[in-house]
């Protein structure tokens, strides 16, 4: 038993080692961080603003990191407007020499095409064998369509100083390729070795908790608002099933706040009417 326990403890420690610490990449161009923690990257070449022609989210790597030392390169993104084009979105591996290695993010069959309005996940592009996933043409002409293995062999053959990676970015810059001159990509995860950005998942509301708050706003009104049987005794259960549906639809807070407001308003109106009736009685 003691031995089993120490094994479990060791496993527990192992799982902690290698866990990347959450941090935010540096945003530039038209990139913005939303209240939901998701980064929006736009390329708008159709307006008068130059600052939003391209967008990047960039992780600076620990000094001296080499291309061969990149063990994890993952991304979760969603192209909402109007598609993938001209190598955008892409991951750029910035070498300290000033040259770039590009990693394209589309489908295996065509690394430049991707579906619209759905989250696309690449847990790790290091080792990816799709032909054309990597582009090392800035390092050596004629290698625009290549693989990770070939990119690694090429860069490992360079002088040591030219194997250093200074930063890694996700880039969006192909607005010009679309009719409306605008491209939008959402980013909710970017991981490069120990550097990790993840948008926080919104906390799910508890339907029963919301119903208790509504009930407190006006117990009698709550009964008549939700109750469907003879003595309205099923009001709480009806509320919980209504709010559970709202939570699933992502509309729970809206429905909850509207219901509380309406319950309070009805309660106040009732109290006012009762006071008026009382006053009339007294006046007689
Ligand atoms: Ca612009
Ligand atoms: Ca557009």
Look at residue 202 in the predicted model and tell me its pLDDT: 63
Q: Which residues contact 238 (CB under 8 A, 6 or more apart)?
A: 226, 227, 228
Question: Three-state SS for 44?
Answer: strand
Taking the CA of 45 as reference, the closest ligand is: 1
In DSSP terms, 184 is beta-bridged to 42, 81
Average pLDDT for the chain? 90
Burial class, 99, CB count within 10 angstroms (exposed 0-12 / middle 13-18 / buried 19+): middle
Element (H, E) at 149: helix 148-156
For 156, list phi and psi in degrees, rounded to 5. -65, -20
- pLDDT tens digit sequence for 112-150: 889 999 999 999 999 999 999 999 999 999 999 999 999
Distance CA 216, CA 200 (A): 31
Taking the CA of 50 as reference, the closest ligand is: 1
Q: Is the pLDDT of residue 283 over 70?
A: no
Q: For helices 219-226 and 207-217, what crossing angle results, to 10°?
A: 120
- pLDDT tens digit sequence for 54-84: 999 999 999 999 999 999 999 999 999 999 9
- pLDDT tens digit sequence for 200-211: 876 778 999 999
Element (H, E) at 212: helix 207-217
Question: Confidence band (pLDDT; 50, 70, 90) for 11?
Answer: very low
Residue 131 CB: number of other CB atoms within 10 A?
11
Distance CA 197, CA 190 (A): 5
Q: Ligand 1 centroid vs 102 CA: distance in angstroms?
A: 23
Taking the CA of 54 as reference, the closest ligand is: 1
Residue 92 CB: number of other CB atoms within 10 A?
19
Question: Three-state SS for 120?
Answer: strand
Look at residue 159 in the predicted model and tell me its pLDDT: 97
Q: Ligand 1 centroid vs 47 CA: distance in angstroms?
A: 5
Q: Ligand 1 centroid vs 156 CA: distance in angstroms?
A: 38
Indicate the domain borders of the chain.
22-198, 207-272
Look at residue 284 in the predicted model and tell me its pLDDT: 56
Percent of the chain surpassing pLDDT 70:
91
Q: Is the pLDDT of residue 213 over 50?
A: yes
Q: Ligand 2 centroid vs 20 CA: distance in angstroms?
A: 34
Look at residue 279 in the predicted model and tell me its pLDDT: 82
Taking the CA of 184 as reference, the closest ligand is: 2
Q: Ligand 2 centroid vs 81 CA: distance in angstroms?
A: 5
Burial class, 133, CB count within 10 angstroms (exposed 0-12 / middle 13-18 / buried 19+): buried
Taking the CA of 47 as reference, the closest ligand is: 1
- pLDDT tens digit sequence for 219-230: 999 999 999 999
Element (H, E) at 74: strand 73-81
Look at residue 12 in the predicted model and tell me its pLDDT: 37
Average pLDDT over residues 249-260: 89
Distance CA 151, CA 68 (A): 10
Q: Ligand 1 centroid vs 29 CA: distance in angstroms?
A: 10
Q: Ligand 2 centroid vs 189 CA: distance in angstroms?
A: 22
* Token couple for 124: 């790790």
* Token couple for 30: 């038209």
Taking the CA of 44 as reference, the closest ligand is: 1
Look at residue 162 in the predicted model and tell me its pLDDT: 98
Q: Ligand 1 centroid vs 283 CA: distance in angstroms?
A: 72
CATH 3.60.21 fits 22-198, yes or no: no
Taking the CA of 85 as reference, the closest ligand is: 2
Q: Which of 30-34, 113-117, 129-133, 245-249 has the lowest mean pLDDT?
A: 245-249
């Amino acid at each position: 038993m003691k031995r089993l326990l120490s094994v479990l403890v060791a496993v527990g420690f192992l799982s902690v080692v290698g866990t990347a610490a959450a941090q935010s990449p540096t945003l530039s161009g038209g990139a913005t961080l939303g209240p939901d923690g998701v980064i929006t990257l736009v390329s708008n070449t159709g307006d008068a603003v130059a600052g939003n022609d391209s967008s990047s989210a960039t992780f600076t790597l620990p000094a001296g990191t080499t291309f061969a030392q990149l063990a994890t390169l993952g991304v979760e993104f969603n192209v909402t407007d109007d598609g993938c084009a001209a190598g955008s979105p892409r991951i750029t591996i910035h070498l300290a020499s000033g040259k770039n290695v590009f990693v394209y993010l589309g489908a295996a069959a065509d690394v430049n095409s991707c579906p619209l309005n759905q989250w696309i996940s690449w847990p790790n592009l290091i080792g990816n064998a799709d032909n054309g996933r990597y582009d090392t043409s800035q390092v050596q002409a004629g290698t625009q369509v290549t693989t990770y293995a070939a990119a690694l062999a090429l860069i490992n053959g360079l002088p040591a100083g030219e194997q250093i990676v200074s930063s890694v970015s996700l880039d969006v810059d192909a607005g010009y390729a679309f009719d409306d001159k605008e491209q939008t990509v959402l980013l909710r995860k970017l991981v490069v070795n120990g550097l990790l950005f993840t948008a926080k998942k919104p906390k799910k509301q508890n339907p029963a908790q919301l119903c208790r708050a509504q009930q407190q706003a006006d117990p009698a009104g709550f009964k008549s608002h939700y109750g469907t049987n003879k003595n309205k005794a099923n009001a709480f259960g009806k509320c919980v099933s209504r709010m559970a549906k709202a939570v699933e639809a992502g509309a729970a807070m809206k429905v909850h706040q509207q219901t509380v407001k309406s319950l309070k308003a009805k309660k106040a109106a009732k109290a006012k009417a009762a006071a008026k009736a009382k006053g009339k009685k007294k006046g007689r």
